[in-house]
Amino acid sequence: MEELEEHIKQLEKSHLSYEIRSSPEQLSGLLSKDFFEFGSSGKVFYTEDFIQPGVFEEVDLTMHDFSIHRLSTQSVLTTYRVFNSQTKRESLRSSVWTFEEGRWQLYFHQGTNIPKA
């Protein structure tokens, strides 16, 4: 389980990376064709919304409190927190990763802003 957790954590970090997010080719290698996201903005996004140039701004995001929860032999849920150094805000994150076509792919992601105290 530790090996799977580290692998999924690295995939999750790459999903947050501007270098990956700004590359439609690299990002499409992470996302399932059926991917969707409930954004912290309240908007719903799909694969086609992300795999085009210029969608993402460069933002410094730091992941912490990462956990993995096995849902089945082919799927896992990740939960963690992200700190955005530009906005000085933290958000709760969750993702569902599925093992498809011989690799782990991001099927679902949700970001929920934590209200400022």
Cα–Cα distance between 20 and 30 in angstroms, integer? 9
What average pLDDT score do residues 63-76 get?
97
Q: What is the pLDDT averaged over residues 26-52?
A: 86
Output the pLDDT for position 53.
60
- Shortest CA distance to 51 belongs to which of 29, 83, 71? 29
Quick one: tokens of 88? 């000085």
Higher-scoring residue by pLDDT: 2, 55: 2
Find the mean pLDDT for residues 92-106.
Answer: 96
CA 4 to CA 97: how far, in whole Å? Answer: 11
For residue 13, give the H/E element and its range: helix 2-16
10-39 mean pLDDT: 89
The secondary structure element, H or E, covering residue 75 is strand 75-84
